[in-house]
Amino acid sequence: MDICKIPENASKCSGGTMECFMVLSTQAQKISIATLCGLFGTLCVFENSLVLYLIFSSPRTRKKPSYIFISSLALADILASIIFVCSFVNFHVFNGTGFSKEAFLLQLGGVTTSFSASLSSLLLTALDRYISIARPSEYKLLMTRQRAWTALGVLWVSCATIAALPLLGWNCCTLDSRCSELFPFVDDNYLSGWVCLTLVLLGCIVCAYTHVLCRARQHVAYMEQHQASGGRQNTRMRMDVMLAKTLVMVLAVLVLCWSPVLALMIYSIFSRLSDPLRKVFAFCSTLCLLNSMVNPIIYALRSKELSSSLRRVLAQFRRQLKAPEESPEAESTHRSSVVET
């Protein structure tokens, strides 16, 4: 049977399967994908690595649960970028098929784990912001560093377990079931479950941030009425409102970048995808990298603590560049030239 036309057939697991999913037909399309992946991936790794450095180089930020969750988001984006770019470019641009079903599912599991952890980290951050704004007096008791690290441990283990299910046997080759039109060896039911989980996570994040925004608006109104009082509580509220707005911007970017991919995944579950739509899906997949690249920029622009840390690092770097000019050798040379004159 023609394995490219009958995705639900189990023979799709044969050696010629992978070529059916290589949808980039022209050199221009391959160059475009390689350029986008290289640009977004490189910037994503650099920016998120910088965010991790800024968080953990400051004793103040690395102890806060909010920044612990943000560091988890940055780490997930770094791993997603590296694994996604390497596997995606190798498959679609260089037509790499020299790996087994297990190797491909392992790569796909790495990408799924990283992107799922990124989304889940946003959910934990949303819950953290909600508790901080809704119950500020109890925040330090409810959200401790130990609980934050425990939540992250559960998050990463859960994401890795879910992503490993196809490798452990939930794939269309082992089950002799209908295969996905978008991913080799992936069972359609598994893809449906992962999409549903992703939509549930997005829904929970939107719900949490809706409450955060309502609380933030109440705090803004309160601060406007009590500007004369000032004080530490007002400062705390301003920081919470600023961080809440920052993370809402992150959420907006997340939804805009992931909506096309999720929409095409849902469409592929219920209907056949044409070749142009499969090419659109390949290009839309790079939007996930764009999302991971934009997040650190938002942190640097909106977070006062991270932006001040960044300015401190840049100032230290400039001092190091000027140090050779002010070295003892340079000073002695300058003095000798003055004496000779």
Average pLDDT over residues 313-321: 82
Quick: pLDDT tens for 166-186: 999 999 888 888 888 888 889
CB atoms near residue 19 (< 10 Å): 12
pLDDT in tens, 125-157: 888 888 887 788 888 888 889 999 999 999 999
Instruction: Supply the mean pLDDT for the chain.
Output: 80
Q: What is the pLDDT of residues 95-132, one digit of tens each?
A: 766 677 888 899 999 999 998 999 899 889 888 888 88
CATH architecture of 26-306: Up-down Bundle (1.20)
In the chain, where the domains are located: 26-306
| pTM for the model | 0.82
Q: What is the pLDDT of residue 13?
A: 45
Q: Which comes out higher in pLDDT, residue 250 or 197?
A: 197
Span 197-247, pLDDT tens digits: 999 988 888 888 778 777 777 766 666 666 545 555 555 556 656 666 776
